[in-house]
Amino acid sequence: MQDIASWALNAASRRGADHVAVRIADDRSRALSTKNGKLGSASDSESFGIGIRVLADGAWGFAASDDLSRTAVEATAARAVEIARASAQVKQHDTRLAPERAAVADWASPFQIDPFSTSVEQNLDLLLKVDSELRSVPGVTLAEANMNFRREDIWFFSSEGADIHQTKYTVGAGYAAYAFAGNEIQKRSYPNSFGGQWQNKGYELIDELKLVENARRVGEEAVALLKADQCPEGVFNIILDGSQLGLQIHESVGHPIELDRVLGMEANYAGTSFLTLDKLRKLRYGSDLVNIVADARQEHGPGLGTFAFDDEGVPAQCIPIITQGLFTGYLSSRETAHMVGLSRSGGTLRAEAWNRLPMIRMTNVSILPGEKPLTREQLVSATDHGIEMETNRSWSIDDKRYNFQFGCEIGWEIKNGKRTRLLKNPSYSGITTEFWNSMDAICSRNEWVLWGVPHCGKGQPAQVMGTGHGAAPARFQHVKVGTAYQGM
């Protein structure tokens, strides 16, 4: 790969590029799914190519190709420089990059079992066992199960001398049971909705998830929801399970702290952010119990946001985002770091694939667990009256990240510390900072899970990225519940 990279680096430099970054990626994935006892999908895919990012005349250009012959690589590099020069026709100032020591490194995400070494028969047998358990429950009308593996080999080289090779494995699995009757479709998913749980781990994740063991319960819950009471409307104390809290973090913390968004760079598509620069180290984002970090380091866990170096060669770091409720940090890059007085990038520039421009992305944006021992059951027992919600079903937030609304698959009303009735269609809404300032309890480390959101969308052209969100169940006071079904 060094030869290929040198063709690109030299060709771009010869044409006057001041900075050149070359990213070569070889991406392999397997996707399997079953539906109602039969195969849903079975595919294996690979994609290999080069993306060349350059600064010339103070502006950016990027070109990517699937052809790694010398002629094609040099032509791609030349195209990137041509594009940069075109960009320079419409600029307000020259782009400058925060300094970063050029690293030479080789890293692989830890795993015990290479998922691609497992047989497809073994994978499908497991999915069909799950399927069989789900459909053994009378009233389940649709059972879907999926398993996904990915291996990314990424080589990064720069005109500053960076030479980094990283290998990442990702595994994801989950299932859903649907129950349709009358005028209603209810759904229960496990371990999480929209594809399940995902981590940068090997096949050992599949065993840890205990998929078969939970299937019957999940099917029974889907059917039980058809007869459950509708979640009431009003203002309640709510308890969110960790998976739902992870998505709450993603939407109402992870996205607004993306510095490119704050600076207007996503205005035409993903939006901007209410976290204007004047709010750094001034805004009370949450209650004193809210401590949120963006941590890409291996020691944080095998999250989808874990790596050794980002896609411009900056080492993984832990960035404090909210510290005892105070807003303390953004997600930054070499281009944006100096705009918030940072001498160094926070290392969050990531690209989906070889053919996409890296951009600021969440890493593992996680809420730290409570320090005092507290289980979910203890939290319920300590709640006089509230509504507990689990597993996301719908999510929506405005383009500055203020007003949000989430719907969950299942809920329970809590009275005097006990779950009294099952509730269907629970939903809640609020304003981001008001919501986080209402958090009055969070469970401790034994309840904390590093959840994966595999398909976060951003950018033009669009790209998706996996992000990690560690969370434990937590309680929030006086939250508006049920507006989604208002008047229905």
Partner 1 sequence: MLTQTQAADIFEKIKRHSTAEEVEVLFYGTCNALTRFANSTIHQNVAEENISLSVRTSFDGGTARATTNKLDDDSLKRVVRASESLAKVQHPDADLLPMPGPADAGTREALPARHFTETAELTPQERAAAVKKMVYIAEKHKLTAAGIFSNSETVEGIFNSRGLADWHTQTSSEISITMLGADSSGWQKFNSPDVSQLNGETLAQIAAEKALQSAKPRELPPGKHTVILEPAAVLDIVGFMFYDFGGLSVLDQRSFLNNRVGTKLFGDEVNIWDDVAHPQQSGAPFDGEGVRRQRVQLVENGVVKRLVYARGSAARMKNSELKDQVGPIVPTGHGFPLPNEMGEAPMNIVFAAPQNPQTVNQMIASTEGGVLVTRLWYIREVDPYEKLLTGMTRDGTFYVEDGKVQHGILNFRFNESLIHMLSNVEAMSIPVRASGEESFDMVVPAMKVGEFNFTEVTKF
Measured from the CB of residue 433, what is the shortest distance to partner 1 in angstroms?
10
Place of tokens 């109602």: 36
Residues 13, 35, 105, 342: which binds partner 1 (CB under 8 A)? 35
Q: Which stretch binds partner 1 (CB under 8 A): 119-127, 241-249, 361-369, 375-383?
A: 119-127
Q: Which of 60, 175, 428, 448 binds partner 1 (CB under 8 A)?
A: 60
**What amino acid occupies position 74?**
E
Select from 10-18, 300-308, 378-386, 424-432 the region that touches partner 1 (CB under 8 A): 424-432
Q: Are 31 and 148 in contact (CB under 8 A)?
A: yes
Q: Residue 403, interface with partner 1 (CB under 8 A)?
A: yes
Q: Which of residues 301, 302, 370, 407 is near partner 1 by CB under 8 A?
A: 407
Q: Does 24 bind partner 1 (CB under 8 A)?
A: no
Helices (H) and strands (E) in the chain, counts: 9, 24
**CA 123, CA 304: separation in Å to the nearest integer?**
22
Chain positions 143 to 162 lying near partner 1, rule: CB under 8 A, are 144
Site for partner 1 (CB under 8 A): which residue of 18, 217, 344, 402? 402
- Is the Cα dihedral 336, 317, 315, 206 positive or negative? negative
Cβ closer to partner 1: 113 or 128? 128
Residues 441-470 that bind partner 1 (CB under 8 A): 460-461
Q: How far is the CA of 456 from the CAs of 255, 352, 422, in angstroms?
A: 10, 10, 31
Of 469-488, which residues contact partner 1 (CB under 8 A)? 483-488
Decide: is 276 part of the binding site for partner 1 (CB under 8 A): no
CB of 54 or CB of 316, closer to partner 1: 54
* Residue 279 interacting with partner 1 (CB under 8 A): no
CA 276, 282, 288, 292 torsion-angle sign: positive
Binding of partner 1 at residue 67 (CB under 8 A)?
A: yes
**Binding of partner 1 at residue 117 (CB under 8 A)?**
no
410-439 CB burial, b ≥16 within 10 A, e <16:
bbbbbeeeeeeebbbbbbbbbbbbebbbbb
Give residues 164-183 in contact with partner 1 (rule: CB under 8 A).
178, 180, 183
Interface pick for partner 1 out of 78, 215, 293, 357 (rule CB under 8 A): 357
Q: Of 223, 210, 196, which is closest to residue 136 (Cα–Cα)?
A: 223
Residue 315 gets which letter from DSSP? B
Cα separation, 162 vs 313, whole angstroms: 7
